[in-house]
A and B are shown apart, each in its own frame.
Chain A
Amino acid sequence: MTDRTAAKQGPGGHANGWLGMTDRTAAKQGPGGHANGQPGMTDRTAAKQGPGGHANGQPGMTDRTAAKQGPGGHANGQLSVNALEIRYRRLLRAYPAGHRADYEEEMIGVLMSGAGEGRRFPSPADTFDLLRAGLTVRLGRVFHTNRGTGWRDAAAVTGLFAALVLAGAAVSRLAAGLWLWGRGDPMRGLGVDGLMLADPAARAVIWPLVVLAAVLGLRRTAVGLAAAGVLVQAGVMILWSAILLPVWPMFLLWQLGLAIVVTGLFAFSDRPVRAVVGVRGLALVAAAAVVAAATETAARFGVEERPWFDPRSFDVFWDLVHYWVPGLILAAAAWTAGRRVRGRVAVLSASILMIAFVLQALDQVVTELRYSGPTVGGVLSAALLFLLPLAVFGGGVLLLGVRERLAARGHGHVRAHE
């Protein structure tokens, strides 16, 4: 006998003829209706019924059904074990544990009160509502701890870092171009006299302007300039595609990707960087830029070829100074933003580094495709490559969530009952 049959019985209804009887037959029984010898019932079923035909506690009836019936056959669900309740509890697992500890019993009460008699499964609308609300709470815990701060602040800081990288790349390229220019335009042979400098010059104008706007706290201006930067980067790629080969400017793709990301980050942020990292943070950012400029200049003059000490350890030392020291100073700048924001800056920065890496690797993937044609392995590894930034971001968000939950537990911050 199913739960539904039990529920459909009216008050005082005896579950006669329960063996082999369909829901419909049971439903047809009126209040107090005895099913003995009713048409549609097989002889076998009738024979199995004892005299009086009361079904309570008959063999074959599951505990669950018995529990549901309760005294007088009401489907009250007075015992806590109940198929519908179990299903509701399963749905409530969409909520984080803290929320469940607060509200689960109460919500089960509301859900069970709202469920009509005879319901065995949560309605699709309830199911959707619970899943949506539960996942919203989960996401909210990640993105909106303390009402909305965190990610937007981190976006402002990370946007500045990425804009700085683009500015650095452009200025360094322009310097290299000017140095080449001094020895006679190497592009003259291609018939693009002077054009070689137009690309890095345009980039070396726009990105420092973006950095300046961000530092001055002109958020909207920074967004607008970064959007212009996207156009510049795209224009540069189109220009070189037209002059040379369409595949050639692929090495600039990571800058276009980064430009789009910077625009998005500044658009998403709602406070100027200065408000997030303070003057000390901005001083550290400036220090990182100065150090990077100095090491880049030194590299330009071939420091690597003239080691001051043992060449083997000098290589390691120089890589450290050239790439890691500016990065570490930037990390220190992010550190000044406070515990919550700095974690998010780390996650966003790692994701953006991944995007830049993937876009650079894409150059190689495309080259491979051109030479060996599309292979299953090639397509698969390209697809995996594109998942990398997502994986890094997702993993980072997950780690932040775990860390913050642990921290909250450590500080006794778990929301308790009043």
Chain B
Amino acid sequence: MREPTFLVLTALAEEPRHGYAVIEDVAAITGGRVRLRAGTLYAALDRLRTEGLIEVDREEVVQSRLRRYYRLTGAGERSLAAETDRLRSQATIAERRLRLRRDQLGGAPA
């Protein structure tokens, strides 16, 4: 799973969101590091919809603009959980090795 996909699913895990709200939430949870652009966002949304990981929650018209809210499906939830586990196990390994390295080298950089 590529990072934008993971972040979009994470944004939708909290509550159904429309496109622009997803962009803002992704920016917030990454501390401003990732600001998705419309093309990238809708490439991910379209693919996730096709794969059945998200679905349309509702549509609203705000200031004559269409807002479509997306929500996570059951499959999306499982997929996000699996990816989260994978990332966590990798992070754990990296963390353990870094700790070992620090212990062996006595805290001094090599």
Chain A residues with CB under 8 Å of chain B are: 76, 78, 80, 99, 102-103, 105-114, 125-126, 129-134, 136-137, 417-418
Partner of B20, one of A102, A110, A130, A417: A110
Interface membership of B38, Cβ < 8 A: yes
Contact A130–B38 (Cβ < 8 Å):
yes
Give the chain B neighbours of A125 by CB distance below 8 A. Answer: 37
Contact A103–B65 (Cβ < 8 Å):
no
Interface of chain A: mostly helix, strand, loop or mixed: helix
Most buried by A among B19, B39, B63, B65: B39
Give the chain A neighbours of B23 by CB distance below 8 A. Answer: 110, 114
Give the chain A neighbours of B68 by CB distance below 8 A. Answer: 106
- Smallest CB separation, A396 vs chain B (Å): 26
**Across the two chains, which residue of chain B brings its CB closest to A104?**
B66
Give the number of chain B interface residues (Cβ < 8 Å).
21
Give the chain B neighbours of A131 by CB distance below 8 A. Answer: 39
CA distance A234 to B92 in the complex (A): 53
**Across the two chains, which residue of chain A brings its CB closest to B65?**
A109
Give the chain A neighbours of B43 by CB distance below 8 A. Answer: 133, 136-137
Q: CB within 8 Å of A: which of B58-107?
A: 62-68
CA distance A172 to B62 in the complex (A): 74
**Across the two chains, which residue of chain B brings its CB closest to A80?**
B64
Contact A132–B20 (Cβ < 8 Å):
no
CA distance A78 to B65 in the complex (A): 9
Contact A129–B65 (Cβ < 8 Å):
no
Contact A105–B65 (Cβ < 8 Å):
yes
Interface membership of B13, Cβ < 8 A: no
Interface membership of B15, Cβ < 8 A: no
Give the chain B neighbours of A136 by CB distance below 8 A. Answer: 43
Give the chain A neighbours of B20 by CB distance below 8 A. Answer: 109-110, 113-114
Give the chain A neighbours of B56 by CB distance below 8 A. Answer: 417-418
